[in-house]
Structure 1
Amino acid sequence: MSSPSIGAEAHEESDSPQSKESVWRTAWQNNKGAILILLAEISGSSMDAMARFLQQGENKFHPFQVIFARMGITFILSSVYMWWTQVPDFPFGARGVRGWLILRASFGFFGLYCLYYSVHYLPLAEATVFRFLVPIVTAWACSVFLGQVFTRKELIAGLVALVGVIIIAHPPWIFGEVNDEIHPNRKSEVDEVTPTQRFVAIVVSVLGVLGASGAYTTIRVIGDRAHALMSVNYFALLATASSAIALLVIPGIGFQNPQGAREWILLIAMGVFGFVLQFLLTAGLQLDKSSKATSMLYTQILFALAFDWAIWGVLPGGWSLFGGAIVICSTLWSTLQKPHAPMEKKREPDEESALLGAQTEGSEEVGRRASMSA
């Protein structure tokens, strides 16, 4: 007679608020790193959507002004954080790596400009896909310039991804004239893009991949000789200064005053989201270095698709979606093949180390050799 009562009590305990809270707490503890990376990707995609919105709005902000706003605020927040937490060698970094930090920043600025140029002419999701080429191109560059191993699987993944890029571009001399853009729910007017503008934007995106890969290759050289945010700070400072000079010197462009509170908020929010992106990625990768956490980086394409649909009412067409799926699957497969070897020295993880996987063992020695030969 007592067993039903005991069973009922056990059932009540399992449905109690304390029990549900412990389940959520356990889920949070087991997936904290992956969740932080997911939030980082939401921040990054939001930042890219703001950049595209500002470039296509009434004022049509130039990419240099968008970069100036984003990286200037990121530089300030990053500097304050490193000063507050007493990061070693702040603000200039160790003397032996300053040249490499400047080179990393230069490559990064070139890659960022290419990204913001391309999002003016391509849907956000389509421009985002090209970023997934960076790990494979970086692996190849490190094999050429640093003597690191470039496996057959990475070569196969790179060739397959290249096929995906060609499908995304679907040049008319191969595919014929194709209207490959879907407007199922257009909510705002978007500048009409000619086939030539679209093709040039794709070429610029590929050049941006080379810039980003150059930045990540120098990150390999730097290794654990500089804090992750030190690299970000150099990047932000050089991008801010270079974009300001370009706006002042190049004829036909210049600083535009934001019109209304919305544009002010978007420009400031871009810089804040840029810092939040880096901070959450660093925290997430400290907590979880598994392939599960690294794979969360690929969720950014889903958020980009959502922003394209919600803001512009535009989605990539069939060829673009098919090519994008090939790129994502091939690079994700390549990433999951990488062995996660333990590092001899602890290094602050960041976006670059996530993209490059765990192949950082011995990077400090590679950096010393490169410094000696430079």
Structure 2
Amino acid sequence: MSAAKGFTVYSPDTSDFNIPSPARERIAFIPAPEVSIQHSKRSGWYDSYKRMVRCPRALRPLVSRWARFVGENSGLLLIASAQLFFALMNVAVKMLNSLDEPVPTLELMFIRMLITYVCCIFYMLVTGVPDPWLGPKGVRLLLVTRGFSGFFGLFGVYFSLNYLSLSDTTVLTFLGPLTTAAAAALILREKFTFKEGIAGAFSLVGVVLIARPQFLFGTAQRVPDHGHIVEGGHGDPFERGTPAERLLAVGLSLLGVLGGAGAALSIRKIGMRAHALHSLNAFSAYCVVASGIAMLWQQPHLVFPKRIEWILMLLFIGVVGFIAQTMVTLGIQRETISRGLMGNYVQIIFATAFERIFFHTTPSPLSIFGTLIIMSSAIYVALTKDKTKSSTARPDVTLDNDEGALEEGLLRGEGQDEDTELKERHEMKETREDKIEVESRAKA
């Protein structure tokens, strides 16, 4: 017979339950990879992209492809978008030249670049950009070269607008990408193929057809000032001067192409070692000084505003010029010269449309034919361009790796060499894979 024994339930003084819990497992912290200063700040549109990620699953592939396209072509897109503002600026310059008393080229340059200089200094002082006046010490000589070359580039364009139509002046500037690519091959040792040289030769033929020099096309009559029919086409009421003056305008426009090439090479060499507005500040400062000295030497008849439209149009030229130059500088910093400057050819679309809208003119048949030759040469170079390792080695930007790959494609500095860029991408990829693996073990 067994007797039932009572029992007493005791509560432990301490609660120490050695029960393994996944929640208490220590997860190793993996720090973010060290990135250069250009990776540390995200642009506003990148934050907009992050919000777009929270879209329906069906649209995520489209969003990923769009983000990858923007990330890999940010420099080209910036330069192409800047052409709209350049075309608007050229329209305003043509309108100023069509006034009863046209504005001298040097005076126009002085006022426009003075506005740009004030905008640059104001922005850098407000935002705290270091060395706003002279730029970083290591690139000051390159900044001087950028300003010197940019002055001749701007002077050539403005002078040619006095005697050539808007579309002719725009097409002449299309020699810039090919000229710059050739200069980059000689100075920066970038690749320049034989087909690009052939395209450049055909582009020169197009320039001859646009300029129509007297020694090839014979003696021509003075170009009418009020839109009479010329050479089977419609004359430009804003195009004036003798054939000799037109030839001089073409020559200075080609000098402007060389100046633009020197400016692009300087920006490319500077890379991310200086703020984009440092480059634009040097350019505008040199133009103000050079045009001011030239006006004191030539003593042209200065034109003072008599109408409110004159002042508003001049302010418009300064503002849109500042926006366009800033976008081009940012684009060249992020893209190779030979590829990035292909965005310049978008300007012919805007120039043709604006010339038709504002000036009601149609280019002559020879100008159209020369334009087609130059455009065909540029398209040929763009379509047959060899893919380089730097363009094919970039990882795809998807919704899984957008944190590093998209930001890398947009904000990385072009001043690094290719081996360093590949090493950074490899390290960032390994870090993301390790992080995903640790998170998977934690969930298990």
The reply to whether residue 106 of structure 1 matches residue 148 of structure 2 is: yes
More deviation, 99-108/308-317: 308-317
Q: Go from structure 1 to structure 2 and tell me whether the alpha carbon gap of 1:281 and 1:218 turns closer, same or farther (over 3 Å shift).
A: closer
Aligned pairs, number: 331
Deviations 1:37-88 (A, max 9, x none): 6653222111111112112311210011111121111111122223333334
Task: Please tell me whether the aligned partners of residues 43 and 276 of structure 1 are also in contact (alpha carbons under 8 angstroms).
Answer: yes
Q: How does 1:172-187 map to 2 (within 5 A)?
A: 172-176=214-218, 179-180=230-231, 182-183=233-234
More deviation, 334-343/140-149: 334-343
Aligned to 1:300: 347
Q: Go from structure 1 to structure 2 and tell me whether the alpha carbon gap of 1:39 and 1:261 turns closer, same or farther (over 3 Å shift).
A: farther
Q: Go from structure 1 to structure 2 and tell me whether the alpha carbon gap of 1:207 and 1:38 turns closer, same or farther (over 3 Å shift).
A: closer
Q: How does 1:1-374 map to 2 (within 5 A)?
A: 39-176=81-218, 179-180=230-231, 182-183=233-234, 189-190=237-238, 192-251=240-299, 253-281=300-328, 296-336=343-383, 337=385, 339=387, 342=390, 362=417
Give % identity. 34
Q: Which one has the largest radius of gyration?
A: 2
Shift of 1:181: 7.2
Q: Which amino acid aligns with 1:73?
A: I
Distance (whole Å) between structure 2 residues aligned to residue 141 and residue 37 of structure 1:
19
Normalised by the size of structure 1, how large is the TM-score? 0.75
Shift of 1:322: 1.1
Q: If each structure's helix is expressed as a fraction of its own residues, which one has the higher value?
A: 1
Shift of 1:238: 0.9
Task: Please tell me whether the aligned partners of residues 279 and 329 of structure 2 are also in contact (alpha carbons under 8 angstroms).
Answer: no
Shift of 1:250: 1.8
Distance (whole Å) between structure 2 residues aligned to residue 293 and residue 213 of structure 1:
13
| Runs of 5+ unmatched residues, structure 1 | 1-18, 366-374
Distance (whole Å) between structure 2 residues aligned to residue 66 and residue 328 of structure 1:
30
Task: Please tell me whether the aligned partners of residues 183 and 313 of structure 1 are also in contact (alpha carbons under 8 angstroms).
Answer: no
More deviation, 94-103/272-281: 272-281
Distance (whole Å) between structure 2 residues aligned to residue 182 and residue 310 of structure 1:
17
Task: Please tell me whether the aligned partners of residues 107 and 214 of structure 1 are also in contact (alpha carbons under 8 angstroms).
Answer: yes
Distance (whole Å) between structure 2 residues aligned to residue 78 and residue 92 of structure 1:
12
Indicate the RMSD between aligned Cα atoms, in angstroms: 3.9
Q: Which amino acid aligns with 2:303?
A: Q
Q: Go from structure 1 to structure 2 and tell me whether the alpha carbon gap of 1:177 and 1:340 turns closer, same or farther (over 3 Å shift).
A: farther
Aligned to 1:14: none
Deviations 1:274-313 (A, max 9, x none): 1222345567889999x99975542211221223223333
Task: Please tell me whether the aligned partners of residues 164 and 239 of structure 2 are also in contact (alpha carbons under 8 angstroms).
Answer: no
Shift of 1:338: 5.5
Distance (whole Å) between structure 2 residues aligned to residue 182 and residue 299 of structure 1:
24
Task: Please tell me whether the aligned partners of residues 224 and 348 of structure 1 are also in contact (alpha carbons under 8 angstroms).
Answer: no
Distance (whole Å) between structure 1 residues aligned to residue 193 and residue 129 of structure 2:
36
| Runs of 5+ unmatched residues, structure 2 | 1-55, 221-229, 395-406, 421-444
Q: Which amino acid aligns with 2:376?
A: C
Task: Please tell me whether the aligned partners of residues 182 and 192 of structure 2 are also in contact (alpha carbons under 8 angstroms).
Answer: yes
Distance (whole Å) between structure 1 residues aligned to residue 267 and residue 339 of structure 2:
23
Q: Which amino acid aligns with 1:244?
A: G
Task: Please tell me whether the aligned partners of residues 75 and 233 of structure 1 are also in contact (alpha carbons under 8 angstroms).
Answer: yes
Distance (whole Å) between structure 1 residues aligned to residue 312 and residue 125 of structure 2:
26
Distance (whole Å) between structure 1 residues aligned to residue 309 and residue 139 of structure 2:
40
